[in-house]
Structure 1
Amino acid sequence: MTQPKSLDGSANPRAFFGAELRRLRTAAELTQERLGSLVYLSGDTIAKVEKAVRVPTEELAQRLDAALGTDGHFDRLFRLAEKSSKHPQFFALHAELERTAQRIEEFSPYLVPGLIQTEGYAREIFRAFWPYLPDEQVNQKVKARLDRAALLDKDVEYWAVLDEMVLKEPGLPPSVMREQVQHIVALIKDHRAIVQVLSRSAGMHALRSGPLTILTLQDSTPVAYVEAPHTGQLLDSAEQVHACRLSYDLVRAAALPPPASLELIESTLEEYGT
């Protein structure tokens, strides 16, 4: 079972939800296993909600209120968490966990990962995905994405593996791609990121199905995040995370070494002019 740890309930609304759950469960003299049985979950799942590494649902919030007699307290906290996030519901918990990660490892087969996107690149992507959104809402999405990039200025280890096609995206203006590639090069040379490229010659690989992010949190708990168009899923079971880790390590082993990757990344600048 996940072991208890000190919680910072002020970190974000979901962390507050978890801290309140632990406080009120303890006050009711219930173990995680006992409370779990009352709301039809395992004790391990209750522990993960308390640690804010499992997303609470509206149904769980209502069951907790019924089990603990808290008169809608958890339902209100759930709604607060939903409204306060700058990100889509499916991505919100990932974004919060990302801020407390010691290491972030990503594989991206189609797009430059959000953490290392430039403003121009992010704007083009959001406009392609959301063609009918007003400019103001697109601007809000771009700002939320760029705010995440501040993580790379902190003491976090960031490692990305990019499919070669990510660097040779023909659908974006050359000026946008040139700025984006230059930004990746700068991150590498400033020792703020390690980036490898999976070349076209690598053939079939373990992550052909899509992007993957693995977060190693401050207490060394690893979680994985997989994404598809307009949806995503955070995986926190040991078995699932282990399988994701194996797939990521296989892809990283198949990619070009960092020096050769940097050379290839810099060479793509020639394709986008000066």
Structure 2
Amino acid sequence: MFRVHGANSGIDTVSYGGERVVRRKDIDGSMSVPTFYGKELRWKREAAGLSLETFLKGSYFGKTYLSDIEHGQRRMPIELARHADRVLGTDGFFERNCEDVQKARRSGHAAYFEKVLEAEKFALTIEEWCPILIPGLLQTPAYARAIILAEFPLSLEEEVTAKVNGRMARAELFEEDHRVPEYWAILHESLITDPILPFPEMAEQLDRIVELTERRRITPQLILRKIGTHPLMIGSAKIMTFPDAPPLFYTEALHSGDTIDDPAIVKEYRRSYDRLRAVALSPEASLDLIKAAAEDYRNGKRVDRLE
């Protein structure tokens, strides 16, 4: 009897008659653009006689990261594409085609968000500062729909549904059995006191944050209005760290987003985020205020300030 182990790796271990046999797992390059170029990368690397470790020497990336790319589970960043061309002598092939990989979009998400969408799945930590909107990973369908319609009021219903479903799918990160990523969100008081939904739906949105917190999947903190000036007053912030790649910083405007991976710049944003966290309420006090606000909305009472 056969039994296959290690389905997410490049090699399967097959049990047969009590013995284990190593079997190389092929990649179906027809599945998607990222999978096609991942398969091509592995073919050229193995043709050059290079192991994952040897190929990666001189780069910032880890062995797991490269294996995921070769199997189409991650998209090839431009830095790794250039590294591949240098090591394999492929005359710019991977750099030229890296744009095709980045353009291979998933339904319901803007093109500029693709890098973040993928990065969330592999992050060790995700830390967000949200001064204007409750972050997408925490939104309920009603909240997401309201935001989407406000931004794109002429959208067809199927387009709105695709975007809402895409946003909800991201939250599957919190439904996994493992405990990563560690997620931290600093929210401005106005997100709680200035509802964009009818009171019952606003209560459901806050209940979602409470539920994730009580399951120990997220840590929320609140910045109160009375704080006055504070770090990161301009724009949103999202910092992600990884076990096998450099950290990323992401900030977003209405119709654009900017992903930064320069270590020096990310370090500056990291410092600003830590200072912001220092002036926020504690997670325990923040959760109590969110719970109280949810109960007020459930009872039809407007929440004017958090005290």
Bucket of the pairwise TM-score, normalised by the shorter protein = 0.7 to 0.9
Q: TM-score, normalised by structure 1?
A: 0.77
Structure 1 residues not aligned, in runs of 5+: 1-5, 30-42
Q: Does 1:104 align with 2:126?
A: yes
Alignment match of 2:276 (pick from 239, 251, 254) = 251
Alignment match of 1:79 (pick from 94, 100, 106) = 100
Q: Which amino acid aligns with 2:221?
A: Q
Q: How many residues align?
A: 249
Which structure carries more helix by proportion? Answer: 1
Q: TM-score, normalised by structure 2?
A: 0.69
Q: Does 1:150 align with 2:150?
A: no
Q: Tell me how far apart the structure 1 counterparts of residues 220 and 95 of structure 2 sit (CA, whole Å).
A: 45
Query: Are the aligned partners of 2:143 and 2:205 in contact in 1 as well (CA < 8 Å)?
Result: yes
Change (3 A) 1:255 1:165: same
Structure 2 residues not aligned, in runs of 5+: 1-8, 12-26, 50-57, 300-307
Query: Are the aligned partners of 1:152 and 1:192 in contact in 2 as well (CA < 8 Å)?
Result: yes
Alignment match of 1:135 (pick from 129, 135, 157) = 157
Change (3 A) 1:259 1:229: same
Deviation at 1:270, TM superposition (A): 4.1
- What do the CA deviations read for 1:25-60 (whole angstroms, capped 9, x no partner)? 78679xxxxxxxxxxxxx86999x977687549xx9
Q: What residue number does 1:207 align with? A: 232
Matching of residues 9-158 of structure 1 within 5 Å: 14=34, 17=37, 20-21=40-41, 24=44, 55-56=77-78, 68=90, 75=97, 78-79=99-100, 81-86=102-107, 87-154=109-176, 155-156=179-180, 157-158=182-183
Larger Rg: 2
Q: Tell me how far apart the structure 2 counterparts of residues 107 and 16 of structure 1 sit (CA, whole Å).
A: 36
Q: Tell me how far apart the structure 2 counterparts of residues 85 and 126 of structure 1 sit (CA, whole Å).
A: 17
Deviation at 1:185, TM superposition (A): 0.8
Q: Percent identity?
A: 36
Q: What residue number does 1:234 align with? A: 259
Provide the secondary structure at the position in 1 that maps to 2:153.
Answer: coil
Query: Are the aligned partners of 2:139 and 2:205 in contact in 1 as well (CA < 8 Å)?
Result: yes
Query: Are the aligned partners of 1:206 and 1:248 in contact in 2 as well (CA < 8 Å)?
Result: yes
Change (3 A) 1:170 1:70: closer
Over the aligned positions, Cα root-mean-square deviation in angstroms equals 3.6
Q: Tell me how far apart the structure 1 counterparts of residues 115 and 10 of structure 2 sit (CA, whole Å).
A: 16
Q: Which amino acid aligns with 2:100?
A: R
